[in-house]
Amino acid sequence: MAYLTVRDLSLGYDSHEIAGGLNFTVEPGDYLCVVGENGSGKTTLMKTLLHLRAPIGGEIRIGDGLLPNEIGYLPQQTVVQKDFPASVREVVLSGCTAGMGLRPFFTKEEKRRAAEAMERMGVAALAGRCYRDLSGGQQQRVLLARALCATRKILLLDEPVSGLDPVVTAELYELIGELNREGVTIIMVSHDVAAAVRYASHILHIGETVFFGTRDEYRNSAIGRRFLSQRGEAEP
């Protein structure tokens, strides 16, 4: 059964539609990349999937036992977030807050989960460092560890490599791919369509034309070929 089933979804603000006619499913183990022009509604889709914004129309069904608090989220970073004056350990632990309720402290299990996530993301040695003193790549690894504290089922990543140099970008893509191969379902917004067709199992293209299918189907589709060509990106 699918984790997410989206039918005839319309996105927008104050009844102004940005994107419509979205139909797709996300199965356990999928790696879905969401691509499209700037302003096409990719980030709005993420917020709508997280119930941070109501859809204009259509429906989103959650299945296969997935709970709303079992979706990890890595948003686009702002300047303020990059300058956050907390330790790496504190940032990662904050990923556990969704399951705390009114409890004002972290349990041993939550602390263990945070330690495991930091180890998995290669930032355990930075646990006592101030988050704002880290490089961009280190900060993204910390935020991935934070998202993993929320869940090991499904991660929503909004432009996770934005602003990073090519070497760090490649490392982060590989790390995300490893998580997917370990069974974590990935939904990632990306402006890098060449990387999307290289790493993802499925592509959702939103804009004037809407496409959903496997990466090979997208690569061979009219919209996929046109979008790759417009960006001067060779097919992998």
Q: Which of 164, 162, 159 is nearest to 187 (CA)?
A: 159
* H-assigned helices in the chain: 42-49, 79-82, 88-93, 108-120, 136-150, 166-181, 193-199, 215-219, 222-230
- Cα-based torsion angle of the residue sequence 132, 133, 137, 140 in order, rounded to the nearest 10 degrees: -30
pTM confidence score:
0.87
Per-residue pLDDT reduced to its tens digit, 205-232: 998 889 999 999 999 999 988 888 876 5
The one-letter amino acid at 228: L
- pLDDT tens, position by position, 70-122: 888 888 876 556 777 899 999 999 888 766 555 677 889 889 989 999 999 99
